[in-house]
Structure 1
Amino acid sequence: MKNSQGETPNPAPVEQTSVDQRIYPLHPFMLAVASVLGLFANNVKEAALGDILPALASVLGFALLLFLLLGLLFRGLGARTALLTSIVLVGCLFYARLWFWLDHKTGGVVPFGLFVLPFMLGLALLFILVARTRADLRLPHSILNGVAFFLMITPIAQVSWYTWQNARPGLVVATSEEVVAPVGDRPDIYYLIFDRYASAATLQRYFDFDNEPVLSFLEERGFYVAPGSHANYLKTAHSLASTFQMDYLDFLADEEGSRSSDWQPIYRLLGEHRVGRLLKSVGYRYVQIGSWWRPTQASSFADVNPSFGFREFTSIYVRDRLLNPLLHLIAPESPYTRSLQWDSGQCQRVPWQIEQVEKAASGSQPTFVFAHFLLPHEPYVFDAEGNCLSRPESRERGTKQGYVEQVRYANKVIRDLVTTLQAKKDRRSVIIIQADEGPFPETDVGHTRTWREATEDELNIKMGILNAYYYPDQDYDLLYPTITPVNSFRMLFDKYFDVGLGRLPDRLVGFPNIFRIYEFFDITGAVRATQD
């Protein structure tokens, strides 16, 4: 249209009142997706696609809300609004990752505090400049679309390539046996894992700690304590997978290749396993009370999955975003806020787990309760009474004493749980208290040296575990001093369900490091030789 002087005016650029079809405001949403997919690509060997969905949905919702609010403020949904939205998203979603990248490139010479303030001030100035400029913003908008697309497609390509390289038709594992259990002969079963709880011999020899009082307590309570028990594998995932499959994992070396570092096959064995299928086939209700670690945090196989705080992927994602300090500012005592800190989250989670175990079995249906306590596993934040220490207090105490104090606290938890569970006169309960592995030696084994090069002392520290059983009738004819976890449920099911599984040889199995987790080799002789 022309003005009264017959000229066509050249108005200052303003935002469109609706989304300009030529603008395609995609980069805010691609940046949001890229922030999630980048973390997923870095953890594709351990995370599953379903793990990222809560974070992905939340961040896309946040990006959309921010885009609409800024569109309302600036009266349009065109290039200006899209650029402003992306500036805010970069500040909220990428500030920590950018610092990690800069810290790595500069060799750690730029402190976080020195980086974040200028970075945020720079983004604020850029936001003001874009908000106030009268220039045509379509070119920078189009460039940012291209940059955001590259940032989004790169992790997609990485994940796709990894998935294609590791494509598999599915694991072939043993199926559960058909069993028939007489009604009334199905006690509740509590399987309580205390992560990295060393054997009494290890505690005495390497930590100068006498653990006899808690072992005597268990024996007085009718438990069978296996004094010569060892873990079957070096790491939690392998150990629990073999325990729940009631078999060794040799088939994984054939299916995955000995040099694979893909944890997904093992994690799948922890999601739906032979023990769970058998128990559910005879009418058990399955309750899983896990840690923050994804494979035990929840199971699709369980009937009940009490949850504390964020899931593992979401927690890691939020921890490096601006939402983390905002939550600590707005709601510092929220369980979600506390769970974002590894140490503080542990202080909140363990008491919650204890409560969940105590109330897990109810009603007429027999219940299987699996609880995974990260005790005496690091972080070493508890004293012997379960009080939570500050970070300076924990550092001052030191690693070795921190581990011993958490063994003391684990003992308190064991005493309290055993007393509570055995006091339920209306329910008969089997209780298995077991470690999945021992503590890691304070050496470079598993890092610069492989476990093939481990010394006898390093193997003894890592493999010796607590292993105690309570059967209501206290008939322990099937148990023996050197029983290992792979035989725990075999013996239990043969006793109560007459399955006829029998006993496997008690083998101890190592692998070089986390980069070759299926390169199995036998360490039974090396460990047992020092025990004789």
Structure 2
Amino acid sequence: MEKEKVYIIHPYLIAISPAIFIYAHNFEQVHYSLVFQAVILILCSTYVLTLTWQYIIGNNFKSGIITSTVLFVFVNYGQLVDYILSLSFSSPVFVRHRYLVLTLSLILILLVYLVIKTNNSLINLTKFLNIVMLISVMISFVHIVSKLVFEYKHRSQENIKRTATTSTDQDRKGVFPDIYYIILDGYAGYNTLKELWHYDNSDFLNYLWSKGFYVATDSRSNYGVTHLSLSSSLNMEYLDSLENKIGSEIINNKGRAYKLIENNEVMSFLKHQGYKIINFSTNWPGTMINKNADINIDCGKIPPYIRLLLQSSLIRAYTDKISFFSRKHRERILCTLSKLPETKSMIDGPRFVFAHIISPHPPWVFDKNGRQPEKGDLHFLNNDWGDEQAYLDQLIFINSKIEDVIEGILVEADVLPIIIIQSDHGPSLGKDYVKHSDKIRSVAEMNILNAYFLPDDGKKLLYNFISPVNTFRLIFNYYFHTNLNLLDDKSYWHIELGKKGLLPSDH
């Protein structure tokens, strides 16, 4: 007879553990209110499920074990899929949801049957599960608290000691031009496309030249990953210099890099010049939202935190099947591209418009005509660069849409704007290119698209190997009369675990 008072809390802890874990590892970019709402909904659903099993079975401990078993499979299904995909012998095609769900369902039925039929009291197992899950959730809470403490200690360092970015002509008269800074994520430079993809991108470059753009065909990214590249370009500094100024590591701390992207020098300077900031939100943490912007335009309908939560659960078997997140990703990109020319009417100028377009970077959601490719769904979560043709098709479509964006911006402009179209880094060449030397691979992966529309003869100061770190140094000097020194154009490739791989420049 069950006399000992044992609380059955493990089903609730299992249910909320992914929500707490995801928040702990994306703390800087998720508002706590969203987590709170998710946790409350999950706890209520778990309570209803537990009561249902209690009504069916009539035994609290058995119903608790069954509820936990079902919930464990449900909330961790996506993690299991990711693990299978990570195996060396696996591929996206290897995972068929119908077979995996069927297998897990049979296992669950067997486990439920065994729990119902057992004559054991299950008190000790309940205690064990309570302790294990409590420890698991507490680890995530400790992670969250440590980040809160870290943020509190470094709050005073949030604003960088600025690089004397002040205008020497504070009383300058006239109308400032709107500035559009468009990042095409993972867009390969002309040389990379020509030499390794055997694709001639001249049609697009000729279009840019015909509209008055300067295209720096020998330009290289300063860093080979997005969070480091944007931290550098938007603050007009190399990361070692930024680290010295804020007294905190950046290279191995994505959270600090995200903060630098949000609280960046470029937007700060322009706000002081009277600019209004318009930011297009993405589903990537670093550019998800900018609290310093006057307007955040969010073309997505599902918050990234909720998307991650859904994708870690059994719901993934359904969303993958109907191309749910691929369609949402497509819609966000198309919406952003269509709204870019419309920003002029959103707020009185001058305006600085920042748009991070996560394309032609995978997932593959466009063919060259803009249709949804069938294989795009398989690659959505794997960040797989391996399909050369899929990459080229997506790039070709993005070319056509960028041409539309440029036409729209120029038609709407009363004063010719500044337009920068730039990739944060080149494409990853993947396993197929291990035959190339590191130097060849690094040059290929760092060669980027870097195009400038600078009115009033501003392009006369540009040069063919200008890198993103100097983009706004040059623009601010010419249009706002600052005295910023141009930095040496350097590239750092494969920076990880504190190891800096400097790509020597022959410019």
TM-score, structure 2 normalization: 0.81
Structure 2: how far apart are the matches of 1:50 and 1:206? 39
1:432 CA displacement: 0.7
1:273 CA displacement: 0.6
Matched, 1:145 2:127: no
1:306 alignment partner, SS class: strand
Structure 2: how far apart are the matches of 1:393 and 1:105? 19
Matched, 1:295 2:286: yes
The CA RMSD measured in Å over matched residues stands at 4.1
Residue among 451, 457, 464 paired with 1:481: 464
The equivalent of 1:195 in structure 2 is 185
The equivalent of 1:423 in structure 2 is 411
Alpha-carbon displacement from aligned partner over 1:336-377 (angstroms, at most 9, x marks no partner): x722x4xx4433222111123122232323211111112222
The equivalent of 1:17 in structure 2 is none
Asked whether the equivalents of residues 174 and 245 of structure 1 are also in contact (C-alpha less than 8 Å), the reply is no
Asked whether the equivalents of residues 25 and 79 of structure 1 are also in contact (C-alpha less than 8 Å), the reply is yes
Residue among 196, 200, 221 paired with 1:206: 196
Asked whether the equivalents of residues 228 and 257 of structure 2 are also in contact (C-alpha less than 8 Å), the reply is yes
Is the deviation greater in 94-103 or in 407-416? 94-103
The equivalent of 1:407 in structure 2 is 395
Structure 2 matches for 1:207-246, cutoff 5 A?
Answer: 207-246=197-236
Gaps of 5+ in 2: 380-384
Is the deviation greater in 135-144 or in 467-476? 135-144
Matched, 1:314 2:306: yes
Asked whether the equivalents of residues 363 and 376 of structure 2 are also in contact (C-alpha less than 8 Å), the reply is no
Matched, 1:515 2:497: yes
Asked whether the equivalents of residues 433 and 466 of structure 1 are also in contact (C-alpha less than 8 Å), the reply is yes
1:269 CA displacement: 1.1
Alpha-carbon displacement from aligned partner over 1:147-202 (angstroms, at most 9, x marks no partner): 32133234445677899999974578342634446464222111011122222233
Structure 2 matches for 1:116-515, cutoff 5 A?
Answer: 116-124=101-109, 140-156=125-141, 169=154, 170=157, 173-175=160-162, 177-179=165-167, 180=170, 182=172, 184-251=174-241, 261-307=252-298, 308-325=300-317, 338-339=324-325, 341=326, 344-362=327-345, 363-391=347-375, 399-443=387-431, 454-510=437-493, 512-515=494-497
1:93 CA displacement: 1.0
Higher helix share: 2
Gaps of 5+ in 1: 1-9, 14-19
Change (3 A) 1:506 1:98: closer
Change (3 A) 1:290 1:257: closer
Aligned residues: 488
Asked whether the equivalents of residues 174 and 274 of structure 1 are also in contact (C-alpha less than 8 Å), the reply is no
1:417 alignment partner, SS class: helix
The equivalent of 1:4 in structure 2 is none
Alpha-carbon displacement from aligned partner over 1:33-53 (angstroms, at most 9, x marks no partner): 322344456xx4x65373676
Structure 2: how far apart are the matches of 1:426 and 1:293? 33
1:287 alignment partner, SS class: strand
Structure 1: how far apart are the matches of 2:253 and 2:302? 24
Matched AA of 1:421:
I
Matched, 1:63 2:40: no
Matched AA of 2:160:
V
Matched AA of 2:309:
Y
The equivalent of 2:382 in structure 1 is none
Matched AA of 1:195:
D
Change (3 A) 1:299 1:166: closer
Is the deviation greater in 22-31 or in 129-138? 129-138
Structure 2: how far apart are the matches of 1:456 and 1:328? 38
Alpha-carbon displacement from aligned partner over 1:261-318 (angstroms, at most 9, x marks no partner): 3322222211211011111122222122243221012222222222214344432331
Matched AA of 2:356:
H
